[in-house]
């Protein structure tokens, strides 16, 4: 039977030849928000065809929105030029399509890199003022963020729009808004981090207001033939937090605004979360959103095996799967999965010599007599 994982999917004017996506992964290797040679290697390697779509890491719409001083940004001409060089390079040699995850870390910004310990930066270490829906820190020993004024919220929407215009000039095929993992959009959605008393807090409708305004504004400037989705955390894994049921309502509202898919992750809002980790543990959330909101979903998290991924797509639980650590471990994951599942998948022309079916022709002199 034909593989579901290696069947094409069309989102607006973009047709992906298979359902495998390299998940966005922060690299902490940017200078003043600008991509470096590291990104040529990181994204370049994935662009050779192992996955149909390669996501660029969380790329922040303003400097304060960065998690660390080494995080990627899309707020200056330098940021745009540096990332254009990388994506041009990937497209010159590779065959994958490229998406960018636009983001803002909110109260989780201004920290050391994970390699340095991931702790909040003190002012003398270059720490900066973080911004959030409410003046509530991520954890008791973290700096208190400043609650955004309504004027600042408006300005932020403009910054999302400006970053999207830069992404279009760079030549990205898709935009994903980062609405999960406890970052700014998620901070607005969750009643734990959003305790505003104006129209941006309180009821579900109010907590969704900024995320929906930002999404709608970006969708308006992003070309109509290019898809745009969102990553969310479907649950805070906490009593009194954001829930899968609210995620479904959010997905329905986004769909009305032209959202093409929801990438369904979980957690990250509060260190007190109790996550039940297991293989495919986030798949039920993607399935719920897909069935109840009628929107395509991407599932992510501890999906490592070809048959596991095939079953998720074939059983209609999600439309795409994203792989992060598994792709770092094996950047050719999808080529190998295609072999396991008896499917065909594309290789960049310069890589064809390694295709199992073509190896004997490419190197006849290396054939050993039986
Ligand atoms: C090094 C690293 C960096 C990550 N950076 C991001 C990011 O920029 N944006 C995001 O949404 N998730 C990020 N994640 C989460 C992954 O995209 C993914 O959701 C998570 O690792 C679970 O998938 P996996 O089990 O296939 O690794 C990161 C994960 C890793 C390991």
Residues within 6 Å of ligand 1 by CB: 23-26, 57-58, 101, 178, 181, 231, 265, 300-303, 323-326
User: What is the rounded distance in angstroms from the CA atom of residue 260 to the CA atom of residue 266?
Assistant: 19
**Cα-to-centroid distance, 28 and ligand 1 (Å):** 13
Average pLDDT for residues 265-278, to the nearest whole number?
Answer: 96
Quick one: pLDDT at residue 49? 84
Arithmetic mean of pLDDT over the chain: 96
Confidence of residue 235 (pLDDT cuts 50, 70, 90): very high
**Cα-to-centroid distance, 39 and ligand 1 (Å):** 16
Closest atom of ligand 1 to CA, residue 302: 25
Residue nearest to atom 3 of ligand 1 (CA): 25
Ligand 1 pocket: which of 324, 327, 331, 333 to mutate (most atoms within 8 A of CB): 324
> Does 367 have pLDDT greater than 70?
no
The H-or-E segment that residue 3 falls in is: none
**What is the pTM assigned to this prediction?**
0.96
Quick one: pLDDT at residue 252? 98
Pick the closest to residue 134 from 191, 180, 215 (CA basis): 191
Pick the closest to residue 204 from 192, 185, 217, 191 (CA basis): 191
**Cα-to-centroid distance, 180 and ligand 1 (Å):** 11
Question: Which residues are annotated as catalytic?
Answer: 183
Q: Exposed, middle or buried: residue 71 (CB in 10 Å: 0-12, 13-18, 19+)?
A: buried
**Cα-to-centroid distance, 52 and ligand 1 (Å):** 18
Distances (CA, A) of 347 to 49, 197, 326: 5, 54, 19
Distances (CA, A) of 82 to 78, 125, 217, 254: 6, 26, 25, 31
Write the pLDDT tens digit of every residue in 186-217. 999 999 999 999 999 999 999 999 999 999 99
Rg, C-alpha atoms of the chain: 21
Confidence of residue 364 (pLDDT cuts 50, 70, 90): low
Quick one: pLDDT at residue 366? 55
**For residues 103 and 58, is the Cβ–Cβ distance under 8 A?**
yes
């Amino acid at each position: 039977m034909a593989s579901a994982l290696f069947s094409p999917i069309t989102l607006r004017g973009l047709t992906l030849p298979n359902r495998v996506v390299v998940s966005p992964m922060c690299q902490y290797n940017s200078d003043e928000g600008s991509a470096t040679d590291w990104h040529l290697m990181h994204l370049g390697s994935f662009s050779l065809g192992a996955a149909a779509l390669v996501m660029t890491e969380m790329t922040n719409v303003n400097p304060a929105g960065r998690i660390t001083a080494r995080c990627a940004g899309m707020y200056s001409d330098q940021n745009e030029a540096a990332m254009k060089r990388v994506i041009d390079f990937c497209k010159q040699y590779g065959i994958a399509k490229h998406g960018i995850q636009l983001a803002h870390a909110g109260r989780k910004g201004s920290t050391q890199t994970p390699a340095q310990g991931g702790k909040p930066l003190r002012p003398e270490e270059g720490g900066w003022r973080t911004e959030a829906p409410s003046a509530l820190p991520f954890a008791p020993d973290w700096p208190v963020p400043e609650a955004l004024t309504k004027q600042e919220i408006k300005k932020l929407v403009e910054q999302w729009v400006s970053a999207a215009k830069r992404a279009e000039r760079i030549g990205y095929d898709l935009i994903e808004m980062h609405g999960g993992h406890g970052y700014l959009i998620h901070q607005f959605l969750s009643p734990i981090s959003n305790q505003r008393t104006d129209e941006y807090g309180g009821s579900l409708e109010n907590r969704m207001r900024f995320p929906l305004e930002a999404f709608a504004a970006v969708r308006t400037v992003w070309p109509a033939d290019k898809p745009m989705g969102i990553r969310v955390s479907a649950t805070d894994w906490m009593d009194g937090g954001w829930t899968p049921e609210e995620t479904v309502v959010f997905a329905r509202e986004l769909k009305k605004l032209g959202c093409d898919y929801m990438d369904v992750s979980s957690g990250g809002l509060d260190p007190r979360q109790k996550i039940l980790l297991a293989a495919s543990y986030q798949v039920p959330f993607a399935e719920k959103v897909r069935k109840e909101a009628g929107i395509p979903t991407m599932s992510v998290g501890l999906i490592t095996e070809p048959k596991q991924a095939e079953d998720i797509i074939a059983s209609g639980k999600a439309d795409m799967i994203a792989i992060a650590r598994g792709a770092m471990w094996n950047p050719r994951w999808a080529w190998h999965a295609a072999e396991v599942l008896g499917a065909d998948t594309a290789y960049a022309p310069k890589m064809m010599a390694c295709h199992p079916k073509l190896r004997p022709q490419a190197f006849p002199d290396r054939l050993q007599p039986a």
